[in-house]
Structure 1
Amino acid sequence: MSAGDREAEAQAKKGEEGTASDRDSRVAAAVNQHWCVGLRAIELIIAIIATGLMIGALHNPRVVQSDHQHIALIYSAYSSFIIITGVLIIAKLFGENAGWKTSIGFSVLGVIMFTAAAAVIFYDWHSSYYANLRPNKQVYDLLIASGVFAVINAAVFLVHAFFTFRKEADY
């Protein structure tokens, strides 16, 4: 192998590394530019999944041994934030920006509502576990899974509020 071949090989390797770093920088720039929309999409998907799990659990009439106020709190938290995040994502697609204070307000309210929904779900699960007439295990699994997704969504809303406050970025 001659010196010219080694030099050409080194240049080719250097060119491959350059394209990899360019690709990484483009990905980093895209993530930096669209992180708000990405987090809102994750929040929307988790809220839809949690709603579906709760509908499946409440389809059995003996699962929740509580009053209708708990069910109203859970559904209002889930459905209102499906609407809010959906509207914010659609507004962003049309080029409208919500202010960073508005975004923080929605995120903090999301943390509060999803934490309350998760607390009510876990309370109802615990109280129905000791009832005389219990539903089957699959219904319990759906109920707990919905509560876990509510906790996860509260954490995602908290992360979103933190990053929005830190960057003071318009949504």
Structure 2
Amino acid sequence: MTADPVVALAWGPSAVAVQAAAARAPELPWTGVLTELDSVRVAAFGRGDVAALRAADEEGSAALVADQSAVEGFRAAGMFPRGFALQVVSAIEVSRDAQSVRLRVVDSRPGYTLVDGDGVVRERRPARGNQEWLITLVPDEAGERWLFRDVVAAGPAPAASTRTPASTPSGTGEPG
């Protein structure tokens, strides 16, 4: 009779979490993971809730900074997006290490509106066709879910290309 091998993991900042999340990664449908994270972001944008973004974006990350800036812009303008959604067309794993997963993602976005605090439509934003992104995801500290670290347009990006709704009025040169 042979003894079962014993596996020991060193405990450190997210050491177990990273290993657990990375072990699950090949089985994950990345489009579903991205859709879930985007739904958290969209809800935060619609409510003007900066704190809620931490459920989708890594603390201190470029993704969190960009999303917080968008939410703060909405609040300052007294407008909130309605109908903003991202539709993930494809998501392919490009690379992975012990700390993160890098995806090549294609998504599109239907048109949406900006409404004031009373729900009155103040502006309509046009749809955006397919756009390709390089997205880095990292596991949360518990290793239970993924978070955005950064999102970068892959290749040439159209002028109105963003994964974050623009809070500035149209015609100001800001992406929408």
Q: Normalising by structure 1, report the TM-score.
A: 0.27
Which structure is richer in relative contact order (CA contacts within 8 A, separation 6 or more)?
1
- More strand by percentage: 2
Question: Per residue, is there more helix in 1 or in 2?
Answer: 1
> Greater Rg, structure 1 or structure 2?
1
TM-score by length of 2: 0.26
